[in-house]
Amino acid sequence: MCNTCGCNVTPGNAQLAQQKDANGESALTLLENLLSANDRTAAHNRAHFDEHGVLAVNLMSSPGAGKTALLEATIDALKNEFRLAVIEGDLETENDAARIRRHGVLAHQITTGSACHLDAHMVHTALHHVPLAGLDILFIENVGNLVCPASFDLGQHRNVVLLSVTEGDDKPAKYPVMFRAADLLLLTKTDLLPVLDDFSPERAEGFLRALANPAPILRLSARKNLGLDGWLDWLRTGVRARKQQAAVRQAQSPLARPAMASKPAMDSVQRFQRVDHSA
């Protein structure tokens, strides 16, 4: 039972959920997630990824923390091992997608105009340009921003947050929503640590743990090709897990898969129709 999809409204409490008072006003108790339209599309995206056994990784950071540079180094290291694709999110320009394409990988650029984040609908539209069949990893490079992207589920399996050592080590304390969402924290540009005496990786870790987040923390420099092994192994583990899950799904219910991928989630209107009937 959750507080997001309305499944907490049952025949037993439906009369509480819909009360019409003497003034011709009806009060509906909903307890629905405010971003339920986004979350439904995100679940739909995730079903597509799962159907194809694709690991979807959402990369988030401030602008300039090195997301694209990390992807370039990752592609160079893994392109003979895995099939990769990238969805790029920026307010303007195709620059980042062009950078990725130069490394021989399919990249689709989303330009958000003035929107400060990607949402599940934008990613869903982008997926029409990114064939998932045969793909191992889809990277979604979110708009550089430590605030808004944290609120929108895109359908990804993992959130990776980058913190470059040229930023403050107290960023996790300043942007708790973002850093709480991290499944992996990458400290980037660590080749610069010797000349930056005000960034302490230990302090950064302390601030992340203070958010009750047990996520692993890895240090690397994409430009200098340092410390990438831990990150690449983390990706390999993720790919293996997705493939295993896809195999299990296929073995368990071959008939259920296409239905799940194509059938849209029941929306709130339909749910209330059902409640009305039972009440």
In the complex, the smallest distance separating the C-beta of residue 62 from another protein, rounded to whole angstroms, is: 16
CB of 46 to another protein, least distance (A): 19
Distance, in Å, from the CA atom of 223 to the CA atom of 200, rounded to the nearest integer, reads 20
Q: Which is nearer to another protein, 24 or 254 (CB)?
A: 24
Which residue number, 5 or 71, has a Cβ lying nearer to another protein?
5
Rg, the chain, Cα only: 21
Which residues lie near another protein (CB under 8 A)? Answer: 3-4, 20, 24-38, 115-117, 119, 147-148, 150-152, 172-174, 176-177, 180, 207, 209-212, 214, 267-269, 272-273
Instruction: Give the DSSP H/E element, type plus range, for residue 163.
Output: strand 158-164
Complex with another protein: residue 33 or 200, whichever CB lies closer: 33
- Cβ proximity to another protein, 176 vs 227, nearer residue: 176
Q: Which is nearer to another protein, 229 or 267 (CB)?
A: 267
Q: How far is CA 167 from CA 64, 190, 201, 226, 278, in A?
A: 10, 11, 11, 19, 56
Residues 167/207, Cβ–Cβ less than 8 Å: no
CB nearer to another protein: pick between 41 and 109:
41
CB of 272 to another protein, least distance (A): 6
Helix (H) or strand (E) holding 85: strand 84-90
- Nearest approach in angstroms of CB 258 to another protein is 27
Which ranges constitute the DSSP H helices of 52-154? 67-78, 95-101, 120-127
Cβ of residue 149: shortest distance to another protein, in angstroms? 9
CB of 51 to another protein, least distance (A): 26
122, two tokens: 């934008």
Nearest approach, Cβ of residue 206 and another protein (Å): 9
| CA proximity to 44, closest of 34, 56, 32 | 56
- 50 backbone φψ class: left, alpha, beta (φ>0; ψ -120 to 50): alpha
Pick the closer one to another protein by CB: 135 or 181: 181
**Which two three-digit tokens encode residue 117?**
């984040």
Cα 142–Cα 134–Cα 241 angle in degrees, nearest 5: 70
Measured CA to CA, the distance from residue 268 to residue 258 in angstroms comes to 23
